[in-house]
Every structure is written in C-alpha cells, then in structure tokens.
Amino acid sequence: MKYGMDARAEEREHLKLALATFALQLDVFEMRTHDVLLAVGKPGNHDPPADKARWPQEKNGLGGQ
C-alpha cells in the first residue's frame, strides 16, 4: 500500500508544478496583452484596429467609395 501512496504523492507534486507553470505563463501573457493594449491606446497611433481592417473599406473609414 505504501507504493500507491508514494505514486499519488508524486502525481500530486507533478500537478502542482504544472499548475504553477501554467499560472506563470498566464501572468506573462496578461502582462504582454496589457502592454499591447496600452500601446494601441496611445495618442498618435494612426494604425486602424485589427478588426477594422477586416471590414469593407466603405465602413471602416479607410477610404472606399
């Protein structure tokens, strides 16, 4: 029975490590997206948002007739 308990404890430690790694990766992702959102919102940024680039030109204000 001791082997089974050791296997469970080892698996629990692996899951803890996987969860901690995921949490760190999520934090990095959130920081990067936050930086991008701040950069998009800065004055002087004349690039259209990515979703506007997919619209027909007459609707997104990029010209069109």
Indicate the DSSP class of residue 42. Answer: S
pLDDT at position 17: 97
Q: Residue-wise over 11-38: b if at least 16 C-beta within 10 A, else e?
A: eeeeeeeeeeeeeeeeeeeeeeeeeeee
Backbone angles phi, psi at 27, to 5 degrees: -60, -45
pLDDT at position 52: 58
List, for residues 41-63, the tens digit of each pLDDT value: 766 655 555 555 555 555 555 55
What tokens does 32 get?
């990067």
pLDDT at position 45: 57
pLDDT at position 65: 46
Letter for the amino acid at 11?
E
All structural domains of the chain with their residue ranges = 2-60
List, for residues 3-44, the tens digit of each pLDDT value: 677 999 999 999 999 999 999 999 999 999 988 888 887 666
